[in-house]
Structure 1
Amino acid sequence: MISVALISLVLFLLGAQFFKLQWKSRGFPPGPTPFPIIGSMWWINFRADHGSLKKLAKKYGNICTLWLGHKPMVVLYGFQAVKDGLTTNSADVSGRLQTYVFNKMANGKGILVSNGLIWKHQRHFGIGALRKLGMRNKGMERGIQTEAGYLVEFFRDKAGRAVDPSFPIVHAISNVICAVVFGHRFSLKDETFRQLIEAYNCIVAFGNSYLYYISEVFPWVAEHLLGPAQKASSCCNFVRAFIRQEIKSHREKGKIDEPEDFIDFYLDQMEKAKGVPGSTFDEDNMVQSVFDLFLGGSETTATTLRWALLYMLAFPDVQEKVQKELDAVLSPSHLICYEDRKKLPYTYAVIHEIMRFSSIVLITIPREAVKDTTVLGYQIPKGTVIMANIDSTLFDPDYWETPHQFNPGHFLDKDGNFVAREAFLAFSAGHRVCLGEVLAKMELFIIFCSLLQTFKFTPPEGVKEVNTDFIFGSTMKPHPYKLCAVLR
């Protein structure tokens, strides 16, 4: 009797919640029917990948709604919807969803997942510091050229033998960020640096797993039962301890006349902000900002560079054309700089096509409406999650001639000059656009050109077909592969 009453009560409550959700969904963009607890994520099998989002847009349109339990998430699909949705009322949709994992990772500090004044202050300062570091005697460029040189030497030492390029690429890109934030690079043999890279890999791997979603929905499970969640948390702590040690070393060095890296600039800013009411410049925000710069600036660029070399194996005719242009324009002894891009339109177009075609970030980190606003004609209440499908802008058939082919011509006019394309939103748009865009383009250009000027990249002997499928995750990675770098 009691069990019947209990079941009846549960069914009644679920029914009430179901009707409440249907009432609540009125006025939002169309979407699959939401159910209590699971929302409407069932419709895409709890997996926001290429196929499921395309299917969603085909059925419900380029702006539609998915429900994360009882929380609405507006999904933007295709160039026009993503551009208008993120830029028309950009400030209104510039918030970050404060989730269990985000809070564990950043506690509302830094640049990547912070909100309000902290985000505005830290982002504005970060953009200014990176700009100054880039302008000062071409400091950033010099650091990239140094890493490009070490990467060339790595491949030269292999003497054409088959090698997996993943770790040396990650090491080179990570060292660029180290030079920017810490003022120095690390040796490939430095054990602490290896641990730092492994810690970041662990954090990214956790973000790529289903366990991440379980942790967000059931935090107590992550706290007590999920080993990978606890390991990712301890990796975050290791990275923060590493950064604090670097800050301590900078403090011990004492004040210098000219700041040489991001930490120098930040320590100087903390000194200036002493006693300023409401200042957000403190050590916790500095640690998290460095954490964010490292995470945002190493993983994505290293992954894109891995795709770049893989595509040179898959499209040898493109590799040959790049090398012909490099040979015609630059002398073999020329130290490649970012300014050279103006003389190398085809090569610069290839790099942009690599970024477009690899499309490594499927969706942006979700944004949140910070106040009631309008998105593409729909009234969106404060607290609504906005998810932009960046991948759909890079393959939108209305804006790309051959979206599903690797075609550098997408970025060239009829005279062979490089042209920017408005649908190229690889770095997102609006108030949360990637602040490391210029640095990433500099790294990709200088390192890619340095490698192709020196080597011809070929598949290992016996490899008949190059696998260009991706591994689904928070960034779309290529499957592990080997290549041979043959001196030209």
Structure 2
Amino acid sequence: MCRAERLCGTETVFIYPPSCSKFLEIFSLDLGGILTVVLNGYDCVRECLYHQSEVFADRPSLPLFKKMTKMGGLLNCKYGKGWIEHRKLACNSFRYFGSGRRLFERKISEECMFFVDAIDKHKGKPFNPKHLVTNAVSNITNLIIFGQRFTYDDRNFQHMIELFSENVELAVSGWALLYNAFPWIEYVPFGKHQKLFRNAAEVFDFLLQAVKGFSQGRVPHVPRHYVDAYLDELEQNAADPGSSFSYDNLIYSVGELIIAGTETTTNTLRWAMLYMALYPNIQERVHREIDSVLCTGRAPTLEDKQKMPYVEAVLHEILRFCNIVPLGIFRATSQDAKVNGYTIPKGTMVITNLYSVHFDEKYWSDPGVFLPQRFLDSNGNFVKREAFLPFSLGRRHCLGEQLARMEMFLFFTTLLQRFHLQFPRGIVPTVTPKLGMTLQPKPYSICAVRRQQKVPSCGDTPHHK
């Protein structure tokens, strides 16, 4: 039997539902002495994150966050002046150095070609795509942050990304939860929390050297990338004792932007490759649509997006079905909140169960079925769905959403234009995810076979069933 708790004023009411197959809209947990409220279903999540956006915009003061980033940087920063300053700088940088510039689309397309050329070297033989996908995707964020990409054989950068990925898993391990409940275990010499701290220290040192290197030759007020722009802010606010800009916060922000810009998009594309091989009929329909639009064999552009409704539907269904960040990033209430007649005290940790949103039967029919057509109307046109929140909602929604959408479309269409994806003979990988703060596929091998592209007449449209 499943037990849940509801908050009512200062009292906790225990509810014993007859079945756990349906999500309660709101219930509370005691996570090692940390009062936590879980929001379930689209209606409840929207009420809190959209209609009470500012109230649910804080971050919990967890010992782990304090240890890792001193509650600074951008991702884990407490809601207030510091977060507003860092968010504004990051949004402006992503727009100015990235998604707001037509030149940047060309940079993504160039990285797409590096990516498919690297895959081509496997000559259709089985390989694990994780390394290549991770490096390609991270390079898009690197262009914004450092103004430069890293080669796929840069061992130092590869190692840093591996440490990041490992920490995404370790951050929700039993040892991490124990540390949040009993911070004194920091002095226990064994345990996964020590590995997490060592990884973080190593990444900090790498990023420190990277920032120093990429800021060489900087001209004040003529920024080339995010690091330059941050250093401008740091110098301009040097005399302000209340300024949140600091060298440590620069390093934390750079690390958070890299991992946030890499982990989710990487895992989306890895799931996409897995599901295309798993559902060859869906892959074939994707091929037909790509061929009909790119009828001359040219590379895809963002202008092609509106002409490829089925590709868009497939990518949206992967984001919905695979739930890359199933519980979002933990939030906290910045003041007392009222939700569905219940009071959530200020400072309560809040988990937004995005998995429940994407499997909410009120908004999705047969949510447990992988069905791209749910994002198409009867005429085969792409339609937006209300209860679709892979980038979350409200003040803390993903600032890189526009960039992520650009990347996913261009990498996916470039990949499927050139290759047919299939599993090695006799092998079908599991679709059970590897658990962590994100849900990623377990390591798998795939064959990317060069296609003999079937080019229809320009202007033809694929048949939509």
Q: TM-score, normalised by structure 2?
A: 0.90
Deviates more, 1:253-262 or 1:296-305: 253-262
Matched to 1:474, the amino acid is: M
Indicate whether 1:481 and 2:444 are aligned.
Answer: yes
In the alignment, the residues of structure 2 paired with residue 177 and residue 274 of structure 1 have an alpha-carbon distance, to the nearest angstrom, of: 27
Q: What is the rounded CA distance, in whole Å, between the counterparts of 1:221 and 1:403 in structure 2?
A: 42
Q: Cα gap change, 1:117/1:288 in structure 2, threshold over 3 Å: closer, same or farther? A: same
Alignment partner, residue 348 of structure 1: 312
Q: Specify the alignment match of 1:467 in structure 2.
A: 430
Contact 1:397 1:403 in 2 (8 A): yes
Partner SS for 1:160: coil
Q: For structure 1, which segment, 126-135 or 343-352, has the greater mean C-alpha deviation from structure 2 after superposition?
A: 126-135
Match of 2:295 among 328, 331, 345: 331
Question: Is 248-257 or 406-415 further displaced after alignment?
Answer: 248-257
Q: Which structure features the higher share of helix residues?
A: 1
Partner of 1:114: 77
The answer for the alignment partner of 2:242 in structure 1 is: 278
Q: Pairwise mapping of residues 208-219 of structure 1 onto structure 2 (< 5 A)?
A: 208-219=172-183
- Deviation, 1:403, is 0.9
Q: What letter is aligned with 2:74?
A: I
Aligned residues: 445
Does the CA-based 8 Å contact 2:39-2:45 persist in structure 1?
Answer: yes
Shift of 1:27: 4.8
Instruction: Spell out, residue by residue over 1:376-418, the C-alpha distance to the aligned partner (whole angstroms, 9 max, x if none).
Output: 3222221122211001111111111231111111211122111
Q: Please say which structure displays the higher CA radius of gyration.
A: 1
Structure 1 residue 430 and structure 2 residue 394: aligned? yes
> Structure 2, unaligned stretches of length 5 or more?
452-465
Instruction: Indicate whether 1:303 and 2:241 are aligned.
Output: no
More deviation in 308-317 or 234-243? 234-243
Give ranges in structure 1 of 5+ residues lacking alignment: 1-21, 34-42, 44-53
> Cα distance, 1:312 vs. partner?
0.2
2:408 match: secondary structure = helix
The CA distance in 2 between the partners of 1:24 and 1:316, in whole Å, is 48
Aligned-residue offset at 1:70 = 4.2
Which whole-Å CA distance do the structure 1 matches of 2:220 and 2:410 have between them? 30
The answer (yes or no) to whether the contact 1:181–1:262 under 8 Å persists in 2 is yes
Counterpart CA distance in 1 for 2:220 and 2:234 is 14
Q: Is the 8 A contact 1:76 1:82 kept in 2?
A: yes
Tell me, in whole angstroms, the C-alpha distance in 2 between the residues paired with 1:448 and 1:226: 42
2:132 aligns with one of 131, 153, 168: 168
Q: 1:158 aligns with which of 102, 105, 122?
A: 122
Following TM superposition, by how much is the alpha carbon of 1:120 offset from its aligned partner in structure 2, in angstroms? Answer: 1.5
Tell whether the 8 Å contact from 2:32 to 2:178 is kept in structure 1 after alignment.
no
Tell me the CA shift for residue 272 of structure 1: 3.2
Does residue 55 of the first structure (1) align with residue 20 of the second (2)? yes
- Secondary structure of the 1:96 match is coil
Change (3 A) 1:99 1:217: same
Give secondary structure in 2 for the equivalent of 1:460: coil
What does 1:183-332 correspond to in 2, within 5 Å?
A: 183-255=147-219, 258-276=222-240, 278-332=242-296
Q: Contact (CA 8 Å) 1:28, 1:379: kept in 2 or not? A: no
Q: Does 1:441 align with 2:441?
A: no
Matching of residues 406-425 of structure 1 within 5 Å:
406-425=370-389
Aligned mate of 2:62, from 92, 99, 107: 99
Amino-acid identity (%)? 36
Task: Check the 8 A contact 2:95/2:101 in 1, yes or no.
Answer: no
Greater shift after overlay, 368-377 or 438-447? 368-377
Counterpart amino acid of residue 64 in structure 2 = V
Give the drift of 1:30. Answer: 4.1
Rounded to whole Å, the distance in 2 between the matches of 1:407 and 1:24 is 37
Distance 1:135 1:62 in 2: 36
